Structure 1
Amino acid sequence: MSVVVDALGKQCPIPVVMAKKALAELQTPDTLEILVDNEAAVQNLSKLAASCQLPVRAEKTGEKRFSVTMEVSAPVRPAEETVCAPDARGDLVVAVGSNCMGNGEETLGKALMKGFLYAVSQLPALPKTILFYNSGAYLTCAGSDSLEDLKFMEAQGVEIRTCGTCLDFYKLKETLAVGSITNMYAIAETLAAAGKVIKP
């Protein structure tokens, strides 16, 4: 049974302070879930988990509602200092036009793409937006191996947008599992306004 900390309505550093107190009180392996209502809290709780070397998951569960889950396998002593960093999103846009990375063997390409999206989720400055189009649409739908990483980023404020025409073409619209549906005009606008674009 997980320990739940309700930090809804609390601004930084309060959610981090509440999480640290809960971590210090855990004496046996357990799951700690912190509920918050802003992306900055998700980012700072994720950094707290990393500093304690704890596996962490973050997910957007509703409008302005997020869940951050830490897996605690042994007693933890978080550092005394509580630092709340500013929003970690930069002006980077990632454009994903395929469910494979590079040209060649499909199995390898899919594995590389999964690794790439995980690596993006661990960047010090997260992208502002990740766009998915053509067969890249498969990556935001049920069955994708990257859903957990994408949900983790979405919970920290990264915009996950998938081309609606592409979802229709591949008959995937009903299985979209993360982010929102967009159109080609909005994709063009987002790319044009980006400070930097990466296309894997």
Structure 2
Amino acid sequence: MKEIDAKGLACPKPVVLAKKAITSNQEVLIIVDNQTAASNLTKLGKKMGAEVSVVEESETEFRVMFKKTKSTDSENADSESETSGAKIYLIPSDTMGDGERELGQILIKGFISTIKELDPLPEKIIFLNSGVKLATKEDIIFYLKELEEQGVEILLCGTCVDYYELQEEVGVGDISNMFEIADNLNRGDVVTI
């Protein structure tokens, strides 16, 4: 079994280390020091088709165990090919444009409320920096939930959510990590809003 101490490492380093280790080892134990990192590792394990469990949890340490299954490599290859070329919207701000803030807030709400009318819909919407604040606003959450129901994946930068201390306020989407975000942007047709 491979053991990796990733305590104190910033996102996405624990995920990157885990991905490399899972690829070349049958069992991997990753130790991290926060819940967000443990959640990101769990998500990675599921995406890669590995059995994953948090085997120990305390205030300062989370031990996440990965066990490779026979289908791990083939499922990972299938999931990677699925996202290739997909339309992805990247929203790095809680406003649209560089003009007056109030106008930018009106524009971003109008844009998000209009996405559901598009054909085809984007596969994913990724929120970074102050863009994650949009997942806490009731008048925006309504539209984002509609998009999720129609199959659009909503991803929020976990580092950004933590930075703005919005963990308890997020009302829609999945908390992600920079590795997953970079991987999606690398595979898709990205439109930055």
TM range (shorter): 0.5 to 0.7
d(CA) in 2 for partners of 1:137, 1:154: 16
Equivalent residue number for residue 162 of structure 2: 168
| Deviation readout 1:36-80 (Å, 9 max, x if unpaired) | xxxxxxxxxxxxxxxxxxxxxxxxxxxxxxxxxxxxxxxxxxxxx
- Cα distance in structure 1, aligned partners of 2:151 and 2:123: 8
3-state DSSP class of the match of 1:181? strand
3-state SS of paired residue (2:93): coil
Percent sequence identity over aligned pairs: 43
2:126 paired with 1:131: yes
CA separation in 1, counterparts of 2:190 and 2:95?
A: 18
SS at match of 2:154: strand
**Following the alignment from structure 1 to structure 2, what is the Cα–Cα distance between the partners of residues 121 and 173?**
26
Instruction: Summarize deviations over 1:71-99 as a string: whole Å, max 9, x none.
Output: xxxxxxxxxxxxxxxxxxx8210000000
Q: Does residue 146 of the first structure (1) align with residue 140 of the second (2)?
A: yes
Amino acid at match of 1:120: I
* Alpha-carbon distance in 2 for matches of 1:162, 1:153: 15
Partner secondary structure for residue 183 of structure 2: helix
Instruction: Kindly state the Cα deviation for residue 157 of structure 1 after the two structures are TM-superposed.
Output: 1.0
Q: Give the alignment's TM-score, normalised by structure 2.
A: 0.55
Whole-Å separation in 1 of the counterparts to 2:192 and 2:148: 19
**Secondary structure in 2 matching 1:95:** strand
**Aligned residue among 142, 154, 157 for 2:151:** 157
Amino acid at match of 1:111: I
Residues paired across the two proteins, number: 109
Structure 1 residue matching 2:121: 3-state secondary structure: coil
In 1, distance between residues paired with 2:144 and 2:128? 15
Name the structure where helix makes up a greater proportion of residues: 2
One-letter code aligned to 1:197:
V
| Matching residue within 86, 89, 94 for 1:99 | 94
What TM-score comes out, normalization by structure 1 length?
Answer: 0.53
Q: Does 1:110 align with 2:92?
A: no
Matched residue of 1:173: which SS?
coil
CA distance in 2 between counterparts of 1:108 and 1:145 reads 16
Unaligned runs of 5+ in 2: 1-84
TM-superposition CA deviations, 1:103-142 (whole Å, max 9, x none): 010000000000111121210111100000100000112x
Task: Write out per-residue CA displacement over residues 7-54 of structure 1, whole angstroms, 9 at most, x where no aligned residue.
Answer: xxxxxxxxxxxxxxxxxxxxxxxxxxxxxxxxxxxxxxxxxxxxxxxx
**2:182 equivalent to 1:198:** no
1:82 corresponds to which residue?
none
Q: RMSD in angstroms over aligned alpha carbons?
A: 1.2
Asked whether the equivalents of residues 138 and 144 of structure 1 are also in contact (C-alpha less than 8 Å), the reply is: no
Q: What letter matches 1:185 in structure 2?
A: F
2:190 maps to amino acid:
V
**Following TM superposition, where does structure 1 have runs of at least 4 consecutive aligned residues deviating by more than 4 angstroms?**
none
Secondary structure in 2 matching 1:94: strand
SS of residue matched to 1:176: coil
State the partner residue of 1:77. Answer: none
